[in-house]
Amino acid sequence: MKIIVCVKQVPDTETRVKIRASGTGIEEEGVNWIVSPYDEFAVEEALRIKEAKGGEVVLVSLGPDRVQAALRNGLALGADSAVHLKDASFGATDTLGTARALAAAIKAVGSIDLVLTGQQGVGGDNGQVPALLAELLDLPQVTMAVKVEIQDGRATVEREIEGAREVWETSLPAVVSAQKGLNEPRYANLKGIMAAKKKPIDVKDAAALGLDGATLAPRTRVVAMELPPARPAVRMIEGDPEAQAKELLRLLHEEAKVI
């Protein structure tokens, strides 16, 4: 089994996001970058399949130099090699350009059996890249997987839907996107971290992928971004329990107007 995992680096969910002066993106300074949590499920699933069936796990990430930390983390967990897609034009592209670059890199890997992604990149939350990849690679796709079983060149994938669970079967290769609950991701140990230092990260730019400016030119653009309004200060209600309850009712009725 040759398994590709698309790994995106995203701001730590604890980050206090600041909007850039342009109003169309976030300030990157001071941001702690992590692997998108859904991609951690995808990496873990790839490693479990490799352990059960044998094979190879190749990570692919598009982004600036900092994404190599995400790739090294996946290599420390047990992935075999990684491809870093780095080009000035990638930073200004949209989901279609991102998927085009990832698809070109996956095609360059050669014969593959499975592409695993997160169901969405936390932060951007577009949830578009997996479907775009399936289309660009002309592969079947199953989304939001909570269980994956590989047998006889086919995958059985379970998905959770509102109030029920669906079981799908697909031929391989296919694109499968990971949902929370798929597995419990492992942590890297010291041996893995040391081993990762010797594993290869192949860096490719747009030209190496055969992509030109027109292919990567964004067709969509973020025109505005704003933070939610600041929460009003907490108001403490004084007095004995009866007085507090009366005051709370009055505030909910007269000020908040919710009752």
Ligand X SMILES: Cc1cc2nc3c(=O)[nH]c(=O)nc-3n(C[C@H](O)[C@H](O)[C@H](O)COP(=O)(O)OP(=O)(O)OC[C@H]3O[C@@H](n4cnc5c(N)ncnc54)[C@H](O)[C@@H]3O)c2cc1C
Compute the least distance from the CB of residue 150 to ligand X, in Å. 19
Report whether 22 contacts 161 (CB < 8 A).
no
Q: Which is nearer to ligand X, 11 or 78 (CB)?
A: 11
User: What percent of the residues of the chain are helix, what percent strand, and what percent coil, each to the nearest 5?
Assistant: 30, 25, 40
**CB contact set of 115 (below 8 Å; sequence gap of 6+):** 3, 4, 5, 6, 106, 133, 137, 139, 173, 174, 175, 176
Compute the least distance from the CB of residue 71 to ligand X, in Å. 10
Compute the least distance from the CB of residue 56 to ligand X, in Å. 18
- Which segment (34-42, 46-54, 75-83, 250-258) binds ligand X by CB under 6 A? 34-42
Site for ligand X in 72-101 (CB under 6 A): 91-95, 98
Q: Which is nearer to ligand X, 22 or 151 (CB)?
A: 22
* Contact between 143 and ligand X per CB under 6 A: no
* Contact between 179 and ligand X per CB under 6 A: no
* Contact between 55 and ligand X per CB under 6 A: no
Q: Where are the alpha helices (DSSP H) in 79-138?
A: 95-109, 129-137
Instruction: Give CA–CA dist 188/75, Å, rounded.
Output: 9
Compute the least distance from the CB of residue 24 to ligand X, in Å. 8
CA 125 to chain centre: 8
Surface-to-core class of residue 164, CB atoms within 10 Å of its CB (0-12 exposed, 13-18 middle, 19+ buried): exposed
Report whether 174 contacts 159 (CB < 8 A).
no
Site for ligand X in 222-241 (CB under 6 A): 222
- Which segment (43-51, 153-161, 204-212, 218-226) binds ligand X by CB under 6 A? 218-226
Instruction: Give CA–CA dist 131/214, Å, rounded.
Output: 21
The site for ligand X (CB under 6 A) is made up of 6-8, 25, 36, 38-39, 60-63, 91-95, 98, 102, 117-118, 120-121, 124-130, 218, 220-222
